[in-house]
C-alpha cells in the first residue's frame, strides 16, 4: 500500500530545491534566524501602525513570502475567474428567477434554511451592480500537485487589506528578497480597482463599512477593514456614521448629509438593515436594503451573498459548471480527509526556528464591470490543523514575472472628477469631529489639573499663618473644588496637603482623566498618522506607568500634554480634524482660565495680590511677567497679560481669537462673532478691575453656551432651538 504524504513547496520529489524558492531560502541562510525574528517583530509593528486605528496588529505576519511561478498563477487565475463567474450566476438566480431551485438543481429546503439567505433581497430584476463583485478563495496544493478548493468567500471578503499592505511593508523589512526583481507588482491591479470603484460611484462617496471601529480594534476583520480603507484611499466608516434619507444612504458629515454611492462591506448582511431583518436599532443602517433594491446604493458584496459559502450547498454548486458555463469545473473540492495533505511551506516560528506547516493560498478577484480580474498576489496562510504549531503568521504571496510583459486588461483610467470648493473639513464624519473636539478638551483638562495640583501641594504643605499664605491656601482650595479635584464637602475650606494627598489617593482624578484621553486617542486614531500615533501612544504609556503615585506622575502628565500639543502643531494640516481638535483645546483652556481667574480675582483691588500671583503661575507666565515688569505685581499689567495679551498662548483673548479663526474657517460666522465679542469683553477688563468675578463668570457661561452650539451645529446636526414669536403662535393656532 502506497503511503501518500504532503508535497513540499520548496522541493521536488527528488529533494532538489525548486527555483522559485531559491532566493527565499538563500535569504534565510544569509540573514539568520535571530535577525529574521527581529525583522518579523518590526513587520508586525509596522502593520499595526499602517492601520488608521493605530492598534497592535490583530494577527501575526511572516516576513518570508510564498512564491508562485507565472505558469502556476496563470492556472490559478483561470480557476478563480471560472468559479467567480459561476457563483455570480448562481447568486443572481437565487435572488432573481430561482430557476435552479425550480429545476431541482439546488434544493430549496437547503437554500431557504440557510441563515444567510435574506428574503428581502429577492428582487424581480437585477441590481445596478452584480451581487458578487469581490471574491476570494482558499486553495491548497494536493500531494499530486493539483490545486484544490478549500473554501469560498462570497460575503465579507477577509484579508484583502492585509494583502495590499503586507506587500508594501515587506519590501522595507526584507529588502534582500527584492534585489533580484522578477516579481510581478500588485500596484497596477490595485490602481485599476480604485479607478473602477471611483468610476462606478460617479463622484459619489466610496467607503469601507466596518462593523464598528471600537470593536474592530481588537478583531482581525475590523483590523483588515482599516488596512483596506487606507490601501484604497477611501473612508473607513461605521454604521452609526450613516443615515437613510429619501430612500438613499448618506454619511453624516460636518456639511450635512453626503450621499454614499458605494460601500465595501465589512458587516454581515444579516446585521446590515435592522429595519427589515428585525435587528437591534443602532447596529445597522435602517433602510439600507431599500436603497440597494432601488439602485441608489452599490454594496460589495450584496447582502445575502454569504449564502454561497454554506458547506451544504457546495456539492450542488460544483455540479452546475456544465449546465451554466458549458465547461467542466477546473477546481475540485477538498475532501475533509485530504485537508491534512496540503503542501508544506516554511514558516518563521515564535522562537526564530523555521517550521514546515500546511499552507493554503488565498487569492482575490473583483468584477470590473465587464469581467473578473485577479490580484497577482495574495496571502499564504497556515492551515490550523491538529498538530500544527501555533503562532505562525500570514505570508505575502508572490507571483514571479515571466519574460513576456504582462498587461492587465481593463478600462482606461479616468481623470478624477473635479470637486467644488468646499468648506474646510466638510467631508469629515461628524463622529470623528466630535471625538477630536473632545480629545482636545480632555488633554487640556488633564494638563490644567496637573498644573493646578503641582501648584497646590507645596503651598498646602505650608503651616505658616501669614495672611498672604492663608489667603493663597483658601483660594487654591476653591480652585481645586471648581476643577473637580476635591469633593464639594471639603472644597469650601482651606485644607492641608495631607488631606489633599489622601483625597487624590481615594478619588484618583488624574487616572480618570488619562483614561479618557487614551479612549479618545483610540477613537480618533484614523485621523492621526502612524508616526503621530506612535509618539502619542509612547507618551501615554509613560504617563500610565507613572500613575501609581499621582503626585509623582504630575510632571509626566505635563510632559504628555506638551508632546501632544507639539504633535498637533507640527504634524497636522490646518484643516480637517485639526480645526476641531484646536477648538476643543481653546474652549477648554478659555473656560478653565476664566473660571479660575473668577475665583482668584474676586475681591477689592487692594486684596488681589495673592490671586494675581497664583494666576500668573497657573497661566505659566511667570518668566514673561518678570521680564516685562520686573516681577512687580499690579492689576493693570497682570490683567493685560492674563486676559488681553494675544501673543500669550495662555491668555483668555488668545483663546477667543483662536476660536474665532477656527469657526470662520468652518463657516460658522455667527459663532465666530460670539468669539470676537468674548475677546473684546476680556480685553475691556484690563482697564476695569472692578467686578471681575461677575464678568469672568459671565464669560464662562457664554463659552459653555458656545460649546453647546458647536455641538449642535457640527455633531448632532440639529437646527438651533428658538422660541415662537406671538404672530407665529397665532398663525399656528389658526
DSSP string across 344-381: EEEEE-TTS-EEEEEEEEEEEEEE-SSSEEE-S-EEEE
- CB within 8 Å of 452: residues ≥ 6 apart: 476, 479, 480, 483, 485, 596, 618
Is 498 in the same domain as 376?
no
pLDDT tens-digit series, residues 28-75 = 888 888 889 999 999 988 888 777 665 666 789 999 999 999 999 999
Number of domains in the chain: 2
Is 36 in the same domain as 133?
yes
Is 306 in the same domain as 368?
yes
Evaluate whether 644 touches 651 at the Cβ level (below 8 Å): yes
What pLDDT is attached to residue 724?
Answer: 43
Is 390 in the same domain as 519?
no
Is 390 in the same domain as 439?
no
For residue 78, being part of any structural domain is answered with: yes
CA 395 from centroid of its chain's CA atoms: 24
Evaluate whether 578 touches 568 at the Cβ level (below 8 Å): yes
User: What CA–CA distance (Å, rounded) separates 708 from 103?
Assistant: 63
What pLDDT is attached to residue 413?
Answer: 47
Closest CA to 642 of 677, 605, 689: 689
For residue 13, being part of any structural domain is answered with: no
Is 492 in the same domain as 590?
yes
Backbone phi and psi for residue 157, each to the nearest 5 degrees, phi listed first: -95, 110
Q: Which domain covers residue 688, as residue numbers? A: 430-715
Residue segments in the chain with a per-residue pLDDT below the cut of 70: 1-3, 52-57, 180-181, 212-220, 279-282, 386-388, 402-426, 463, 491-494, 689-690, 717-734
For residue 550, being part of any structural domain is answered with: yes
What pLDDT is attached to residue 487?
Answer: 82
What pLDDT is attached to residue 281?
Answer: 58
Is 280 in the same domain as 324?
yes
For residue 416, being part of any structural domain is answered with: no
pLDDT tens-digit series, residues 414-467 = 444 444 344 456 678 888 889 999 999 999 999 999 999 999 888 887 767 777
User: Which helix H or strand E contains 333, and what residues bound it?
Assistant: strand 332-333
Q: What is the pTM of this model?
A: 0.79
Given 399, 421, 448, which residue is the final one in a domain? 399
Is 111 in the same domain as 179?
yes
Is 328 in the same domain as 209?
yes
User: What CA–CA distance (Å, rounded) separates 611 from 24?
Assistant: 71
Is 128 in the same domain as 241?
yes
Amino acid at each position: 500500500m502506497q503511503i501518500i504524504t504532503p508535497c513540499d513547496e520548496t522541493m521536488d520529489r527528488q529533494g532538489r530545491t525548486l527555483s522559485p524558492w531559491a532566493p527565499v531560502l538563500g535569504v534565510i541562510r544569509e540573514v539568520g534566524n535571530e535577525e529574521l525574528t527581529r525583522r518579523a517583530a518590526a513587520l508586525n509593528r509596522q502593520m499595526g501602525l499602517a492601520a488608521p486605528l493605530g492598534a497592535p496588529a490583530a494577527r501575526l505576519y511572516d516576513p518570508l513570502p510564498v512564491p508562485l511561478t507565472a505558469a502556476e498563477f496563470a492556472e490559478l487565475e483561470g480557476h478563480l475567474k471560472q468559479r467567480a463567474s459561476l457563483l455570480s450566476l448562481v447568486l443572481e438566480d437565487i435572488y432573481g428567477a430561482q430557476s435552479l431551485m425550480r429545476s431541482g438543481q439546488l434544493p430549496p429546503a437547503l437554500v431557504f434554511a440557510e441563515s444567510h439567505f435574506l428574503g428581502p433581497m429577492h428582487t424581480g430584476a437585477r441590481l445596478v451592480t452584480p451581487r458578487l463583485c469581490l471574491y476570494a478563495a482558499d486553495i491548497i496544493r494536493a500531494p499530486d500537485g493539483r490545486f484544490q478548493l478549500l473554501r469560498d468567500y462570497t460575503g465579507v471578503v477577509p484579508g484583502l487589506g492585509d494583502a495590499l499592505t503586507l506587500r508594501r511593508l515587506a519590501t522595507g523589512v526584507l529588502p534582500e528578497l527584492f534585489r533580484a526583481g522578477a516579481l510581478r507588482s500588485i500596484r497596477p491591479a490595485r490602481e485599476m480597482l480604485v479607478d473602477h470603484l471611483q468610476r462606478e460611484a460617479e463622484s459619489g462617496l466610496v467607503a469601507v463599512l466596518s462593523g464598528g471601529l471600537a470593536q474592530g480594534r481588537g478583531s482581525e476583520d475590523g483590523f483588515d477593514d482599516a488596512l483596506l480603507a487606507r490601501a484604497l484611499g477611501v473612508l473607513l466608516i461605521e454604521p452609526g456614521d450613516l443615515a437613510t434619507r429619501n430612500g438613499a444612504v448618506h454619511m453624516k458629515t460636518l456639511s450635512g448629509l453626503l450621499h454614499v454611492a458605494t460601500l465595501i462591506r465589512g458587516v454581515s448582511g444579516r446585521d446590515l438593515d435592522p429595519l427589515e431583518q428585525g435587528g437591534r436599532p443602532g447596529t445597522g443602517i435602517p433602510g439600507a436594503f431599500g436603497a440597494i433594491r432601488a439602485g441608489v446604493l452599490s454594496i460589495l458584496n450584496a447582502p445575502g451573498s454569504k449564502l454561497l459559502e454554506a458547506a451544504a450547498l457546495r456539492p450542488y454548486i460544483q455540479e452546475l459548471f456544465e449546465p451554466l458555463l458549458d465547461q467542466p469545473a477546473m477546481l475540485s473540492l477538498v475532501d475533509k480527509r485530504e485537508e491534512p495533505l496540503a503542501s508544506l511551506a516554511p514558516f518563521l516560528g515564535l522562537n526564530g526556528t523555521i517550521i514546515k506547516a500546511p499552507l493554503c493560498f488565498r487569492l482575490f478577484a473583483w468584477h470590473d464591470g465587464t469581467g473578473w480580474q485577479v490580484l497577482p498576489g495574495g496571502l499564504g496562510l497556515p492551515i490550523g490543523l491538529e498538530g500544527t504549531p501555533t503562532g505562525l503568521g500570514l505570508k505575502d504571496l508572490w507571483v514571479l514575472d515571466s519574460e513576456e510583459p504582462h498587461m492587465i486588461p481593463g478600462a482606461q483610467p479616468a481623470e478624477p472628477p473635479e470637486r467644488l470648493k468646499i468648506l474646510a473639513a466638510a467631508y469629515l464624519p461628524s463622529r470623528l469631529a466630535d471625538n477630536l473636539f473632545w480629545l482636545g478638551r480632555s488633554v487640556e483638562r488633564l494638563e490644567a489639573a496637573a498644573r493646578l495640583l503641582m501648584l497646590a501641594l507645596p503651598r498646602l504643605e505650608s503651616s505658616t499663618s501669614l495672611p498672604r499664605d492663608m489667603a493663597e491656601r483658601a483660594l487654591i482650595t476653591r480652585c481645586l473644588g471648581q476643577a473637580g479635584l476635591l469633593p464639594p464637602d471639603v472644597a469650601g475650606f482651606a485644607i492641608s496637603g495631607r488631606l489633599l494627598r489622601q483625597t487624590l489617593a481615594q478619588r484618583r482624578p488624574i487616572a480618570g482623566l488619562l483614561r479618557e484621553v487614551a479612549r479618545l486617542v483610540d477613537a480618533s486614531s484614523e485621523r492621526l498618522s502612524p508616526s503621530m500615533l506612535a509618539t502619542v501612544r509612547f507618551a501615554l504609556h509613560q504617563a500610565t506607568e507613572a500613575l501609581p503615585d499621582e503626585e509623582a506622575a504630575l510632571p509626566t502628565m505635563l510632559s504628555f500634554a506638551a508632546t501632544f500639543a507639539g504633535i498637533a502643531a507640527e504634524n497636522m494640516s490646518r484643516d480637517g480634524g485639526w480645526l476641531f481638535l484646536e477648538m476643543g483645546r481653546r474652549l477648554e483652556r478659555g473656560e478653565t482660565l476664566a473660571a479660575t481667574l473668577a475665583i482668584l480675582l474676586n475681591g477689592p483691588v487692594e486684596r488681589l495680590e495673592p490671586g494675581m500671583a497664583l494666576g500668573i503661575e497657573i497661566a505659566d507666565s511667570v518668566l514673561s511677567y518678570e521680564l516685562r515688569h520686573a516681577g512687580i505685581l499690579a492689576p493693570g499689567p497682570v490683567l493685560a497679560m492674563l486676559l488681553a495679551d494675544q501673543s500669550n498662548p495662555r491668555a483668555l483673548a488668545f483663546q477667543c481669537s483662536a476660536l474665532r479663526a477656527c469657526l470662520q474657517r468652518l463657516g460658522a460666522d455667527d459663532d465666530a462673532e460670539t468669539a470676537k465679542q468674548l475677546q473684546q469683553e476680556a480685553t475691556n477688563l484690563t482697564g476695569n478691575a472692578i467686578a471681575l468675578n461677575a464678568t469672568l463668570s459671565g464669560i464662562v457661561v457664554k463659552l459653555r453656551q458656545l460649546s453647546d452650539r458647536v455641538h449642535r451645529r457640527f455633531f448632532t446636526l440639529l437646527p438651533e432651538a428658538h422660541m415662537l414669536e406671538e404672530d407665529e403662535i397665532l398663525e399656528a393656532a389658526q
